[in-house]
Structure 1
Amino acid sequence: MRGLLLRLSALDADAESAVRVIAYFDALVAARADAAALVRATAALAECTAGLATMSTGRVRYDHDGTPAPPSPDGAGAVEPERISGWMSLGDDGRVWLERPGPARALDEIVLERMAIAARIISARTRPSLHIADPALVELVLSDRESAEDRARALRLLGLLPDVAVRAVAISAPVGTDVGVQAVALVARGQLGPRTVRVAVLGRTAAVLLQDRAGGASPARDLHRALAERAGNPVGEPAQGRPGGVRSERGTGRWEGVDQPRVGVGGPVEALLARVSWQQARLALRFTAPGSADNAVVDYAELGSVALLADLPVDRLRADPDVWTLDDLAGRAGGTNDIFVLEAFCRAGSLRQAAAGLHLHHSSVAARIAHLEDLLGWRLNEPEGRFRARLALLARRLASSPSAPSPSS
Structure 2
Amino acid sequence: MHKIIEKIFGWLYPLLRKMSFGDTLASYISLVLNIIILCVLAYLIYVVFRLVLVTIMAVVAKKTKTHFDDLLVSNQTAKYIAHLIPFLFIYKSVLVILDAYVYWETVFGKLVGIYIILLSLWIVRSLLKAIRDYLKDQPKYSDKPIDSYIQVIMIVLWIVGVGVIISKIFDITTNTLFGTLGAISAIVILIFRDTILGFVASVQVSLNDMVRIGDWITFDKYGADGDVIEINLATVKVRNFDNTTTTIPTYSLISDSFRNWRGMLDSDGRRIKRYILVKAKSIRFLNDDDLQKMKRIQLISHYIDVRQEEINKYNKTYKVDKSLSINGRNMTNFGLFRKYITNYLEHYPGINKNMILLCRQLQPTPHGMPLEIYVFSKDQRFEQYEYIMADIFDHIIASIAYFDLEIYEMPTDRMTLEE
Under a length normalisation based on structure 2, what TM-score does the superposition of the two structures give? 0.21
If the length of structure 1 is used for normalisation, what is the TM-score?
Answer: 0.21
Larger radius of gyration between Structure 1 and Structure 2: 2
